[in-house]
Structure 1
Amino acid sequence: MNGKGSFFVELGTLIVAVVTMFLSIFTYGNTSGLEEKKQTNERFLASLERLGSKSMAVRMGAMYILEGVNKEKDSDRKAAVEIMSAFIRYHQPRKTRANKEAKCGSLARPKTDVQTTATILGRRNTKGEHFGVGEQPELHDTALTRIDLHKAQLDKADFTDSDLRCARFVGAHLRKTVLVGAFLQRANFSDADLTGAKLQYARLSGVIWRNTTCPDGTNSDTASNTCEIHLSTH
């Protein structure tokens, strides 16, 4: 898909997610008069109003509002994760095949509001919870070179075909995460948990495997500091 087509697909996805959230708010608002839910709805609306702002600071504020909503009702969490995921895909799409080898210092970092959104998604499980069905971040086909996902909890997230060269996954929880076809050259997976992760066709040259839990459950330190021979085949 060309860049223009991808742009409109992600724009449409973001609009659908927002409309879905509005419908959820409307339906719940007509079946419950709870003050707590009213306040949640108001925060949803406040965040949605800010998402289209030209100001990065305002957009970042919207994500922090969504983070608060993300800790509440299951249906609200699902909508919040969908919107944050669509926001990242829309603002940071992968436009090239990223085949060229490049030094980390020459690669662009994600936009500040995209990094903030990814950080918020990654700390959504700080109490040891896991993403439920339909809540997994959909971050496929994104350009997230040099992104910092230190200690992020992104079990089951989908990074298919994403450009994650020089990404920092130190201490991250990536159990059953989908990294099929991802560009992971020189990414740092030190102390990360990749149990059950899918890395078929991923580009892995220069990856740092230090005390990494490999997809098959082994530890990289017992396999010549690599997980490349211990990838999940399922």
Structure 2
Amino acid sequence: MTRARTKLDLTQLLTLGAVLVSLVFAIPQAINAQATLEATRNQNAIDQQGQLTDRFTTAIDQLGSDELQIRLGGIYALERIAHDSERDHPTVMNVLATFIGENTQSTWSAADPGRRCPLEIPTDVAAALDALTGPHLLNRNRTKDQFDLSGLCLSRLDLPGADFSRFYIPDAELLHADLSGADLTDATLSNVDLFGADLRRTTFEEASLHSADLKVVNLDGADLSGAILAEAFLDRANLREAILIGSDLTDAEIRGADLSDADLARADLTYASLTNSDLDGADLSGANLTDADLTGAALAGADLSGANVTGVNPEQLRQARARTDPERPRCPVPEDSPVMPSNCSW
């Protein structure tokens, strides 16, 4: 029994020794293999970045070509790089924004001082805009005002559903644009001209639209919560069922507009002109209407609970609350006219 156990112990020791010897040789081999793998990975990363750099350089060169097809190739190449590389995404987007800005400037001249935009959007600019704002490049980190499109001059821009959130687009001329369903959250749009634009269901949460021209725009169902619309022009705008909770409309001109069933809770309408506007069924609870002009306005069914009406003419307010339909201007106003006739009485 003892001899058998001794033999068994010896066999186990020999086996263990063989395993240990194998490990002595295997561990260095494993370490070397891991080091080789890491080196390969690092080299692949370097090669990949080098390829991206080459692709980026080639695309930039293509953007400067005189031939449309080559410029389009450069735009599509940049779009692909932005999709493939998180690191290069911001750089690519800034390049596209610069390309758009340089090719959409006003054709203003001293001889013809009226501002002019291209009657048709150039094909390459349209492709760059699609790459810059399309849904395929969403969900990337974006800081406020990172992409500069200031002074953009594109009448009848057709980009429904585009993503312009946090873009910097002051002083742009976008007459009759179709941006319905677009996202302009936290965008800077001060002094922008959007006369006659289709902005149905567009999101402008926390956006800055200070002094913007929004006459005759369609903002039906749009979300302007917390937006800055101070000194903006909203004459004859359609704001039916629009959300303007907590928005700043101080000194804004909102004459002849449709605000029926709009949500203006806690909005600041100090010194705002609501002449001949329809606010039937609007929510003005907690709104600030200090010194607002309600001449000819209709507020029947509006919720004014907790609203500040300091400085509002009591008789004017009484008539407005009893009026189901707003009074209309005493002169006809062409729907496509960007300005009110000088003899038009509001």
2:83 partner SS: coil
Q: 1:199 to 1:232 in 2, by over 3 A?
A: farther
Question: Superposition pairs for residues 55-66 of structure 1, below 5 Å?
Answer: 55-66=67-78
Match of 1:109 in 2: 120
**Match of residue 91 from structure 1:** 103
> Is 1:150 matched with 2:160?
yes
Could you tell me which amino acid in structure 2 is paired with residue 69 of structure 1?
I
**What is the letter of the counterpart of residue 205 of structure 1?**
K
C-alpha change, 1:231 and 1:142, in structure 2 (3 Å) is: farther
Specify the alignment match of 1:79 in structure 2. Answer: 91
**Long gaps (5+) in structure 1:** 1-30
Question: What is the match of residue 55 of structure 2?
Answer: 43
**Is 1:200 matched up with 2:210?**
yes
Counterpart in 1 of 2:150?
A: 140
Q: Which residue of 1 aligns with 2:339?
A: none
Q: Which has a greater percent of helix?
A: 1
TM-score (norm 2): 0.50
Q: CA deviation at 1:38?
A: 2.5
1:221 aligns to 2:217 (yes or no): no
* Alignment partners' CA distance in 1, 2:90 and 2:259: 37
The answer (yes or no) to whether the contact 1:198–1:231 under 8 Å persists in 2 is: no
Per the TM alignment, residue 171 of structure 1 is displaced from its structure 2 partner at its CA by: 1.1
Structure 1 position 33, deviation (Å): 5.5
What is the RMSD of the two structures over their aligned residues, measured on CA atoms?
Answer: 3.3
Structure 1 residue corresponding to 2:65, chosen from 50, 53, 59: 53
**One-letter amino acid matched to 2:150:** H
In structure 2, give the amino acid aligned to 1:59: R
Query: Could you state the TM-score of these two structures normalised by the residue count of structure 1?
Result: 0.72
Query: Matches of 2:86 and 2:166 in 1, distance apart?
Result: 17
- Taking the aligned partners of 2:168 and 2:202, their CA distance within structure 1 comes to 16
Structure 1: distance between partners of 2:226 and 2:144: 25
Q: Any conservation in 2 of the 1:168–1:189 contact (CA below 8 Å)?
A: yes
Q: Which runs of 5+ in 2 are unaligned?
A: 1-41, 228-238, 243-257, 271-346
Residue 121 of structure 1 is matched in structure 2 by: 132
The structure with the larger Rg is: 2
2:88 is paired with a residue whose SS is helix
2:338 aligns with: none
Say if 1:192 and 1:108 are closer, same or farther in 2 by CA, change over 3 A: same
CA distance in structure 1 between the aligned counterparts of 2:84 and 2:269, rounded to whole angstroms: 34
Match of 2:82 in 1: 70
Determine the C-alpha separation between the residues in 2 that align with 1:175 and 1:232.
21
* Of 154, 159, 170, the match for 1:160: 170
Asked if the contact 1:154/1:177 (under 8 Å) is kept, the reply is yes
* Cα distance in 2 between the residues matched to 1:101 and 1:91: 15
Q: Which residue of 2 aligns with 1:190?
A: 200
- Highest relative contact order (Cα 8 Å, sep 6+), 1 or 2? 1
Residue 99 of structure 1 deviates from its aligned partner by 9.6
**Equivalent position SS for 1:222:** coil
| Residues 1:162 and 1:196: Cα distance change in structure 2 (over 3 Å) | same
Q: Is the 8 A contact 2:104 2:118 kept in 1?
A: no
Cα deviation, residue 69, structure 1? 1.1
* Compared CA separation, residues 169 and 67, structure 1 to 2 (3 A): same
In structure 2, relative to structure 1, the CA distance for the partners of 1:161 and 1:131 (3 Å cut) is farther
Deviation string, structure 1 residues 82-107 (Cα, Å, up to 9, x no partner): 111110111111344999799xxx97
Residues 151 and 173, structure 2, Cα contact 8 Å, conserved in 1: yes
CA separation of 1:107 and 1:44: change in aligned 2, threshold 3 A = closer
SS at match of 2:55: helix
